[in-house]
Structure 1
């Protein structure tokens, strides 16, 4: 019986061993995947040379598909003619040396190989940005790049980079301009037969939604082109992306155009300031001019020095011209006013000639009497000069003047002096002062000597005195009108301004018959 129990124990032990062994082997299957991946990596890179282009394996051109996502465009610098952008750049190409889907040993391994160490082992395209100025790869929190190998040998290389691109801007219509900028991609060392970049067929360039650009509108679309699609002299692959940045006019309209317009309007207030207020007019003109120049200088500092005139330059030149014209107008007006004030004698001479012509025509009958008196004195041959006639007429009207130079005294700009100065040409006749104690008129003999017509000789003394008073009144009106005209001219009163060569017919003179209305009481001013 003992040996039977031994056989049963042995049988059960064999069954136990046969039952446990499959369980151990099934538990070790997932653990064998890790060594299989390592074996795959070791197999793929055993004879791989990362300095050889994939096309050299089968003597074909390596095609690299490029596509990108522009996440943000910032810092559009007009002065430096460049812009900064953040983008995700992706490149895909086929490397048959790294395909394992046709290897029976690793055919069942369908996962992609992803590892940061792959970048150091792989051949990478020598892509560079032709119009790039500087750039960097983001490294927070780790270097922002991805390398992935698919079972069919397709390789994806993705990077997040920040690049500053140059953009040749046309500023002729600045600030109402729209700039066309580019992103130009090419191969640095390989020829077109060895390496060629192509855009992805579906949406090669994507723009992030809600992208805001300072001072510019977001580009509506990006045009992707293959430079090698057109006949060129390029011996290397080239890709080009084009987009348009249109400037927003709102900020410039409020900070430049409205400001300059208000400054020009402020400078025009100088036209309403009295010309005698020279400090106020000069200060107003200079301050507005300095404000315009300062603003124009600030704008030009933020713009490049170009060989053509920009639209903003035309605006600034026009505004400065308006401001300078205000100062020129003030200088011309001041010069004209000072020139006229320095020529009072010329004004007196012109006014005297006008008065002489008018009085000579009005009292033409006095010429005959004057000639007769001169002939009776034996000092004239019948020719009478205008100056002598004027002296005779003035003495006939105002015997106490003494000389004709008193007709236009030096204080011509002081009308009150005319009215207060005794024996002045502007003094009104006072008939009471001309009567003697005996009630006789001292000027009767003078009136007889200068009688203008034969009818005047038949007048009584009272009639002659009345007529003489009338003539004096009329002469006072003449002189008063001349003074009023001169005052209007000197004060630059354009409504009543007259030329110097006008005769007294243009003056507001009364008729001789109208003098009777004043009854001998007339004020000259």
Structure 2
């Protein structure tokens, strides 16, 4: 009689161990053939809620997605899938990617981790956080800013982990809730180069939010009133130098009004150590107002010393030189 031989099928983990991962698996990276682990990183912008150009920070609401493959978690290797398991990030090996420029402790609104039958791990985290970014404000209030979310892994070098930018399948709208700004574009930037810490190098990827300031608020509330003050000073050139009293009154009133306006305006301008376009407009407008005051002092002196015709000629030339200089200032600071 032939002996029957029963072939042993792969044993599946029992219910208690089906979702248990050995310590060596979540401790060591799944490096195969000496190649680094490719970690796909995608960021979905939900909202940009705050931009502070004084502190040079911005606050965002984003979903961060990481995807990598760990063959040790595949169904063929384990004899079972993790599809029905509730796993956390600490239960599996992960690339430990962290933000570099986060300013405050971020708020986690939700997270999820999935492992499919092939061992592909997908981790998503919904966070709100404030990030620091370098602002370039020379073109203020017509500036465009590149707000960067900088991400890197300091636990694994370039030979172990390589971060690869990956776009979300879902696309959020371009509308943002922060007032006075509009979104132009967002894209990953993998060309920033690695971070060097001593002899080690770590992969870094930036996610760039390109935003443009809407200048309407500054034009209506600051530039227009400033223009009225400068034009008020211009009116002294149209008064007869014989009436030097009203001329001096208008010129000094313009100067005092300008000083009070600048005191109120200063708290609304970004505190930077260089001149912005609006700063240049304010500076040259101030010069024009005080030039008008100086002109009145000179012509009033001429009028008192029987040189009235000379004073009138100075006013006749000055009124067109003044308005021409104002036009040039406006063009150089606001139009160019």
Category of TM-score, reference length = shorter chain: 0.7 to 0.9
- 5+ unaligned residues in a row in structure 1: which ranges? 1-32, 341-488, 498-525
State yes or no: 1:250 paired with 2:222. Answer: no
Q: Give the superposed CA RMSD.
A: 3.6
Whether the 8 Å contact between 1:64 and 1:196 is mirrored in structure 2 is yes
Displacement of 1:300: 4.1
Alignment partner, residue 73 of structure 1: 48
- Could you tell me which residue of structure 2 aligns to residue 88 of structure 1? 63
Secondary structure class of the residue paired with 1:101: helix
Q: Which has the higher strand share?
A: 2
Pick closer, same or farther for the CA change 1:36–1:289 going to 2, 3 Å: farther
TM-score of the aligned structures, taking structure 2 as reference length:
0.75
Query: What is the TM-score when the length of structure 1 is the normalising length?
Result: 0.50
What residue is the counterpart of 1:118 in the other structure? 88
Give the corresponding residue for 1:40. 18
SS across alignment from 2:190: strand
Q: SS where residue 89 of structure 1 aligns?
A: strand
CA distance in 2, matches of 1:58, 1:128: 26
**Counterpart check, 1:267 vs 2:227:** no
CA–CA separation in structure 2 for the residues paired with 1:307 and 1:114: 56
Decide whether the 8 Å contact of 1:64 with 1:93 is kept in 2: yes
SS at 1:40 equivalent: coil
1:265 positional shift: 1.4
Unaligned ranges ≥5, structure 2: 1-11, 314-336
The SS at the match of 1:218 is: strand
Distance 1:122 1:297, change over 3 A: farther
Are 1:324 and 2:302 matched, yes or no?
no
What SS does the aligned partner of 1:253 have? helix
- Distance of 2:255 and 2:162 partners within structure 1: 60
Q: 2:30 aligns with which of 52, 55, 61?
A: 55
Give 1:160 shift: 0.8
Higher helix proportion (structure 1 or 2): 1
Among 203, 208, 216, the alignment partner of 1:237 is 203
Report the alpha carbon displacement of residue 236 of structure 1 after superposing the two structures with TM.
0.7
Decide whether the 8 Å contact of 2:100 with 2:150 is kept in 1. Answer: yes
Aligned residues: 300
Residues 331 and 71 of structure 1: CA distance in aligned 2, closer, same or farther (over 3 Å): same
Listed one character per residue, the Cα deviations across residues 294-351 of structure 1 (whole Å, up to 9, x for unaligned) are 444444434444443221122111211221122112221233344x2xxxxxxxxxxx
Distance 2:90 2:228 in 1: 64
CA distance in 2, matches of 1:129, 1:299: 36
- Say if 2:188 and 2:205, in contact at 8 Å, map to a contact too: no
